[in-house]
Amino acid sequence: MFITSRITVLAAALPAVYGTTVKSPTPPMGWNSYNHYNCQPNETIIKQNAQGLVDLGFRDLGYNIVTVDCGWAATTRDEQDRLQWDKETFPSGPEALGDFIHNLDLKFGLYSGAGYRMCGLPDTPASLGYEEIDAQAFADWGGDTLKYDNCYSTSPTEMVDVTSPESQSPDRFITMEKALNQTDRDMQYFLCQWGIGQNVPDWTAPLGNSWRMSNDIFNAWRALWRIVNQAVPHVQHTGPGAFADLDMLIIGLNALSVEEEHFHFGFWSMLKSPLIIGGVLVEAEIPASSLEVMRNEEVIAINQDPLAKAAALVIRYTEEEWDVWAGPLSDDRMVLGIANWKNETQTVEVDLSLVGVSSAASRDVWAHEDGSISGVQTFELKPHELRLLVLSDIETTEKPSSIAYYSVQDATVGGQAALVDCGADDCLPNHLKVGSINADASVTFEGVSSAHSGEIFVGIDFINYEYTHTIGDWATNTRNMTFAVNDNEAKRWAFPLAGGDWYETGRLMVALDGFVAGDENTVVFSGFDDGHWAPDLVGLEIFE
């Protein structure tokens, strides 16, 4: 099921440095030691979990990589400058461990870093400056994949440098890729650069089989909001052989409720993230419900769909705390995800014309139930439920049609907010944006047309490149903006990241109430009073 192939299409269009790294056409799947064992794995632990992949049925579902994360290496290199495995914790050595894993018909996943030291281990050398020696050692040990981290990138003492150009540079990751390509062993290359810097997927998508696009997942529900919103501009670069990695799963770690584990696994699946188990694969140590979540074949099939296209955000209702995501699947099918971020039951109405569907057969992949949907469909969602549907036999319809576009050029800017003239390729479509929008500022559009009175769909073109390298606190990478239509009360909307820098436009579709048919509507944008900037505003498109 999990076949690797050489993706040569990309290589042809790019410099030779991107070469022939082995890439899986669908997202990598497997198990990694870090989320449970941190930097303290050992031989017994790795073997036990490898065996668990087989015994609990995971291998046969496609989870076939066993990765030993941080904590395997000794603190010194040997006389030939080769990294060594810690002899106390891995007494049999890497070749024997590799044989054990290969004998189970699994792949041996290795881990190092493009810095002076391994993450979390200031005394343990990593691969910077030793790339060729290390790549050869990885090959000699029988490694099949390499997760390549980004700690101590600029000094042996500072673990996390997310701001310096050297730390953000592709160079160290390219050097290792070249070294891997000089060995005679096929290896999948998993970048763990955390998405720092600008326009990251432009180089990570062609270079790696996957690339981590955020700081580490945290053992709590709130980590999902941060990562999913940060993933938006990355997953649009996902395709066969190149997968934005939302980080390892926290399923089975007592971090989430069963419903939240469905939500997490479903989101990772429809966004085509690698599915890397972080729980302990020993029946007595992991809830049966968690095993069931990760063994759901219908959800795995969404993740492993041959089109390898990630779902995108279709519409967001921020104050109501739900949104709709959708993406294409093979055989003219579609995945539809309706996400209830709210910790309460709620009934929502989804206008399927937003995804060009008038009616379809629908399969609820969590409930294992067939049904059908059409028109404006009502769903009752449980607290923190992601309703995940595979649509087939789709009858299409026109998506809502545009009746007018207003650029910030047409608006009146008040307070600190300021018009910015962007470059020719920037701030599309009109090369202008309004920045510095805080709660005291306003951007007012007058004479806005509407085909009818009441609620209408409005596409907001915005820019947000709030990269937050946060893990455990509540900080997020969304930015809030309020809109008021005519004399109605302002409402708040949360914007995900838009693109790869502060000049790449993103689109958020919303439903706004309070319009009056005709050409006399006023829409006022402002920052939300949370002490943070709003996203930059580019324009708005009014739909019929």
- Shortest distance, position 247 Cβ to ligand GAL, whole Å: 7
- Shortest distance, position 120 Cβ to ligand GAL, whole Å: 4
Helix (H, G, I), strand (E, B) or coil at 272: coil
- Shortest distance, position 8 Cβ to ligand GAL, whole Å: 30
DSSP secondary structure string, 136-161? HHHHHTT--EEEEE-TTSS-SS-S--
Select from 2, 34, 341, 533 the one that contacts ligand GAL (CB under 6 A).
34
Select from 65, 128, 151, 388 the one that contacts ligand GAL (CB under 6 A).
151
Round to whole Å and give the CA distance between 208 and 190: 6
Report how far Cα 136 is from the mean position of its chain's Cα atoms.
Answer: 31
Select from 43, 131, 149, 426 the one that contacts ligand GAL (CB under 6 A).
149
Helix (H, G, I), strand (E, B) or coil at 325: strand
Q: Cα dist. 285→269, 291, 530 in Å?
A: 24, 11, 42
- Shortest distance, position 122 Cβ to ligand GAL, whole Å: 11
395 is written with which tokens? 């009858």
Q: Phi/psi at 170 (nearest 5 deg)? A: -70, -15
Residue 431 has a CB neighbour count (10 Å cut-off) of: 18
| Residue among 41 and 400 whose Cβ is closer to ligand GAL | 41
Which residue minimizes CB distance to ligand GAL? 119
Round to whole Å and give the CA distance between 191 and 168: 13
Interface of this chain with ligand GAL, residues 400 to 439, rule: CB under 6 A: none
513 is written with which tokens? 């109430």
What interhelical angle do 222-235 and 258-270 show, nearest 10? 10
- Shortest distance, position 250 Cβ to ligand GAL, whole Å: 12
Question: How big is the site for ligand GAL, counted in residues (CB under 6 A)?
Answer: 11
Select from 29, 97, 126, 192 the one that contacts ligand GAL (CB under 6 A).
192
Beta bridge partners of 363: 370, 390
Q: Does 39 bind ligand GAL (CB under 6 A)?
A: yes
Select from 19, 25, 120, 356 the one that contacts ligand GAL (CB under 6 A).
120
Nearest to 512 by CA among 436, 419, 445: 445
Please give the single-letter amino acid code of residue 145. Answer: T
Q: Does 484 bind ligand GAL (CB under 6 A)?
A: no
- Shortest distance, position 113 Cβ to ligand GAL, whole Å: 8
| Residue among 151 and 508 whose Cβ is closer to ligand GAL | 151
| Residue among 114 and 365 whose Cβ is closer to ligand GAL | 114
| Residue among 119 and 460 whose Cβ is closer to ligand GAL | 119
| Residue among 193 and 318 whose Cβ is closer to ligand GAL | 193
Round to whole Å and give the CA distance between 490 and 481: 10
| Residue among 2 and 34 whose Cβ is closer to ligand GAL | 34
Interface of this chain with ligand GAL, residues 256 to 315, rule: CB under 6 A: none
Query: Are the C-beta atoms of 303 and 266 separated by less than 8 Å?
Result: no
| Residue among 34 and 379 whose Cβ is closer to ligand GAL | 34
Round to whole Å and give the CA distance between 196 and 467: 8
Largest CA distance in the chain: 80
Query: Are the C-beta atoms of 207 and 189 separated by less than 8 Å?
Result: yes
Q: Does 70 bind ligand GAL (CB under 6 A)?
A: yes
| Residue among 17 and 160 whose Cβ is closer to ligand GAL | 160
| Residue among 210 and 377 whose Cβ is closer to ligand GAL | 210
- Shortest distance, position 459 Cβ to ligand GAL, whole Å: 35
- Shortest distance, position 39 Cβ to ligand GAL, whole Å: 5
Contacts of residue 166, Cβ cutoff 8 Å, sequence gap at least 6 = 153, 154
- Shortest distance, position 523 Cβ to ligand GAL, whole Å: 41
Helix (H, G, I), strand (E, B) or coil at 269: helix
| Residue among 149 and 305 whose Cβ is closer to ligand GAL | 149
- Shortest distance, position 212 Cβ to ligand GAL, whole Å: 6
Q: Which residue matches tokens 């790549």?
A: 135
Contacts of residue 473, Cβ cutoff 8 Å, sequence gap at least 6 = none
Nearest to 118 by CA among 145, 150, 144: 150
Annotated active-site positions, please? 149, 216
Round to whole Å and give the CA distance between 195 and 204: 9
DSSP secondary structure string, 379-393? EEE-TT-EEEEEEEE
Round to whole Å and give the CA distance between 156 and 218: 25
Interface of this chain with ligand GAL, residues 196 to 255, rule: CB under 6 A: 212, 216
- Chain contacts with ligand GAL (rule: CB under 6 A): 34, 39, 69-70, 119-120, 149, 151, 192, 212, 216
